[in-house]
């Protein structure tokens, strides 16, 4: 019975998770994106489903199989990801943002492929900031009422503790998870630094599947007693 309880520690919970990069189109054949593999988010979706949660996975463009029993919504851009999240978040009790959302998108989208004009001139390009999906969700009435537990990730190249601590407060999330680098994008393993209101905890180097299960345990322990 104890083993069963442990295995189904997210029973009755509904997890919404974002994963992968976003792709911000410049014209019909080009765009900007990043090297996020989506592996951590997909591993979390799988681990949470195995722990008894209903799981909805909003995925940017990645070539990964959908974990069994998980509902997947594919998106390309940050704005599409935000729209998908907003359409699903109402039924969620946990939101985990692992996606490497493009911070900026091209200010203009060209309907037609941009052609070289033969002069050697390069096109000028300007950018606008994308919406912060996690911050928006974390500031919603649902989250503020304690009905939605929000978890953010942080990829930092330096001063992880300092930046991740500041990011946690800026985003207004109870739990912020830092990738203990270097260069975790695309790899099958990682190490994580958990930062919450009480302090920090390290999940030492392991496969992303193992870390995902440990993170699910840590989140289950932190869920408010009455949820939803
Ligand atoms: N995030 C998001 N929407 C964005 C940017 C980030 O939902 N437009 C989420 C990410 O999924 C992650 C967290 O916010 O969970 C932190 O992302 P990160 O890129 O580390 O932070 P930023 O706020 O974008 O700051 P910066 O990239 O400048 O460090
Ligand atoms: Ca960013």
| Residue ranges of domains in the chain | 2-104+130-222
Per-residue pLDDT tens digits for 4-60:
556 799 999 999 999 999 999 999 999 999 999 999 999 999 999 999 999 999 999
pLDDT of residue 126 exceeding 90: yes
Out of 5-9, 59-63, 85-89, 219-223, pick the least confident. Answer: 5-9
172 CA to middle of ligand 2, Å? Answer: 16
To the question of whether residue 103 is assigned a binding role by annotation, the answer is yes
pLDDT at residue 111 is higher than 50? yes
Determine if ligand 1 sits within 6 Å of the CB of residue 155: yes
CATH assignment of 2-104+130-222, given 3.40.710.10, 2.60.450.10, 2.60.40.3500, 3.40.50.10300? 3.40.50.10300
For residue 95, which of 199, 33, 36, 175 has the smallest C-alpha distance? 175
Q: What pLDDT digit, counting tens, does each position of 157-186 carry?
A: 889 999 999 999 999 999 999 998 767 677
* Atom number in ligand 1 closest to CA 176: 15
Task: Quote the pLDDT of residue 5.
Answer: 55
pLDDT at 227 over 50: no
Query: 171 a known binding residue?
Result: yes
Mean pLDDT value of segment 206-222: 97
Q: How far away, in angstroms, is 3 Cα from ligand 1 center?
A: 36
pLDDT at 110 (0 to 100)? 96
Q: Best mutation site among 83, 103, 136, 168 for ligand 1, i.e. most ligand atoms within 8 A of its Cβ?
A: 103
- 228, pLDDT greater than 60: no
Q: What is the pLDDT of residue 225?
A: 67
- DSSP state letters, 82-108: HHHHHHHGGG-SEEEE--B--SEEES-
Ligand nearest to the CA of 164: 1
The percent of residues above 70 in pLDDT, for the chain, comes to: 94
More confident residue, 83 or 158: 83
φ/ψ of 141, rounded to 5, equals -60, -35
CA of 111 to the centre of ligand 2 (A): 27
Active site positions, annotated: 34
Ligand 1 pocket mutation pick from 37, 59, 101 by most atoms within 8 angstroms of CB: 101
**Nearest-ligand number for the alpha carbon of 170:** 1
Write the DSSP string, 111-170: SSPPPP-SS-PPPP--EEEPP-HHHHHHTSHHHHTTSSEEEEEE--SS-HHHHHHHHHHH
Q: Is any ligand 1 atom within 6 A of the Cβ of residue 17? A: no
Mean of the per-residue pLDDT values for the chain?
94
Q: How far is the CA of 99 from the centre of ligand 1 (A)?
A: 8
Q: Of 28-37, 151-160, 206-215, which gets the smallest average pLDDT?
A: 151-160
- Cβ–ligand 1 distance for 78 under 6 Å, the answer yes
pTM of the full structure:
0.95
Query: Which ligand approaches the C-alpha of residue 78 most closely?
Result: 1
Q: Which of 58-67, 144-153, 179-188 has the lowest mean pLDDT?
A: 179-188
Q: What is the dihedral of CA 70, 75, 76, 82, to 10 degrees?
A: -110
């Amino acid at each position: 019975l104890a083993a069963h309880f442990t295995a189904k520690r997210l029973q009755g919970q509904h997890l919404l998770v974002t994963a992968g990069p976003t792709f911000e189109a410049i014209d019909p054949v080009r765009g900007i994106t990043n090297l996020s593999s989506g592996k951590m988010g997909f591993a979390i979706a799988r681990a949470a489903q195995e722990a008894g949660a209903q799981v909805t996975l909003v995925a940017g463009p990645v070539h990964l199989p959908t974990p069994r029993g998980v509902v997947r919504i594919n998106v390309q851009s940050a704005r599409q990801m935000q729209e998908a999240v907003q359409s699903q978040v109402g039924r969620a009790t946990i939101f985990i943002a692992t996606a490497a959302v493009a911070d900026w998108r091209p200010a203009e989208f060209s309907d037609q492929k941009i052609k070289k004009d033969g002069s050697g001139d390069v096109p000028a390009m300007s950018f606008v900031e994308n919406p912060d999906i996690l911050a928006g969700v974390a500031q919603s009435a649902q989250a503020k009422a304690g009905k939605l537990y929000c978890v953010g990730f942080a990829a930092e190249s330096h001063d992880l503790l300092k930046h991740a601590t500041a990011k946690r407060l800026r985003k207004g999330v109870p739990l912020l998870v830092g990738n203990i680098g270097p260069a975790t994008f695309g790899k099958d393993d990682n190490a994580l630094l958990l930062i919450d209101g009480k302090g920090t905890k390290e999940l030492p180097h392991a496969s992303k599947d193992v870390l995902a299960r440990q993170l699910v345990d840590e989140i289950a322990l932190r869920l408010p007693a009455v949820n939803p």
